[in-house]
Amino acid sequence: MLVNEYVEVQTVSESKPVTQVHFNSDYDITDVLDRWGNWARKEAYLQRKAFSLFKSEQGKFKNSLCDDDALIVDSVIAHLGKMKTKKSQDEFKVLKLYYFGEVTMLDDTVMIITQSLRAIAKITGIEKRKVMEIKSNAESCIIGMLAMQTMLTGMELELLQNIKLLK
């Protein structure tokens, strides 16, 4: 007995590589990173044995993340810095200079000064427009890493639980 088999033929289209991905979130990542920067500067000042500007800038540090949230964001940013690609190294450097700042000593006084995009462009030798693009890509990367961590562990930043989502 003969059996007729019908096979469906599926056409496969050629896929293109993804060159750039932007994540959308229900919160402003710049606010989260600003608060992380305040937390990181406060911790850096407190760990220094030398005289610092912590006392004069104490009011700035009131708007920072709680320790648990800050450690999560800190680990995500550190992971970005550990990546070996030039792109991720540039993103790490721009984020660090913009949100945390640069540690300098002035007459036995520790100062941590955040840098503007124009100053970062001068420091890195990259034009300002490109620095803005790198910063935007780095923020998108941080959003993606935080989303991935939330998905894998179920832990979400405490700060984000208190924000009303834009739905």
pLDDT tens string 140-156: 999 989 888 888 887 77
Where are the chain's structural domains? 29-155
Decide if pLDDT at 21 tops 70. Answer: no
Q: What is the mean pLDDT of residues 28-39?
A: 89
Torsion of the alpha carbons at 98, 101, 125 and 75, rounded to the nearest 10: -70
pLDDT tens string 52-62: 555 556 666 67
Q: Is 124 in contact with 111 (CB distance < 8 Å)?
A: no
Six token digits for residue 44: 């850096």
Burial class (CB in 10 A: 0-12, 13-18, 19+), 115: buried
Question: Over the range 85-100, which residues count as b (16 or more CB within 10 Å of their CB) and which as e?
Answer: eeebebbbbbbbbbbb
pTM over 0.85: no
How much is the mean pLDDT over the chain? Answer: 80
